[in-house]
Structure 1
């Protein structure tokens, strides 16, 4: 998957010039970032996948969205300071997920497998596996109800287990704003979770 993605990204450099999007010199500059982008794909692929999933994309739509996010990084590699690629990727995930939520019909799958979760052991009973799938589905429903800015902070802190300082750096916002959004996100999450539980009892 990642090798195919890199082949498409590297092939895209020539296409940029052909489309008139860049000069030949700019296309060459993009190609020069190939090794760096490959390293970022290797280290951040799982993060991008999980982020898109938690921002509301269906599992069936994520592979294309992941490629779109890395294409954005590839196109803007010269503008992204080394070491700050994850911040760019997260913002690209937000934009990609927002666009997908606006254009794709909501077709919920009731028992999606999530690679961000722990794999179901072979010894798990069907009831246990079903309970795990239902818990993931419920989490997705509640996350969908959070405002975008609150969901971003909530996902990064509670699911990705990043510190508030790391989130502030990633999102380029003051740490006080992170703390405020996290408090509001937790309150909103608990309220929506209670409502969801009552509605599905």
Structure 2
């Protein structure tokens, strides 16, 4: 079986960031799943903060720098994509959107994509469904059913639930990468969700 390349695009603004932490966790889950199936893989992580100036210049001039062109080519040629953004003003970050504005609008057609987002509170979790999923639907990517959101509280006592969601999403992405039938039964989109009474506590 040929080697599969998974590009990981993370839009965290600090170093380290919870966005990069989530991206790494998702990438590790996909890596482990593919390893279990004996699928050769290469994972390439792209920190958008390292290319922020080049992205702005590309938007203004229409021409990417050599380093940015390499990044765009990596995403375009990858067999699958993991895309993770911090949540700002109830949506993806400007840096995250800027990258996909610069990327050729045909680059993700038919490409398997796993989406993730981070934020300070669970109340922003729907950013995955009303902002990120429509963006990738417009780009004609194939987004896995399970999206992964990590609030600040998910890195504490609830880390087990976050790992469980990450593993499930990674399995779905691996199924698409290897063109195999889903490894699990029907997915309950509300499984592992935060209880409503907890959301009301703020």
Q: What TM-score comes out, normalization by structure 1 length?
A: 0.27
Structure with greater helix share of residues: 1
Q: What TM-score comes out, normalization by structure 2 length?
A: 0.27
Structure with greater strand share of residues: 2
Higher relative contact order (Cα pairs below 8 Å, separated by 6+ residues): 2
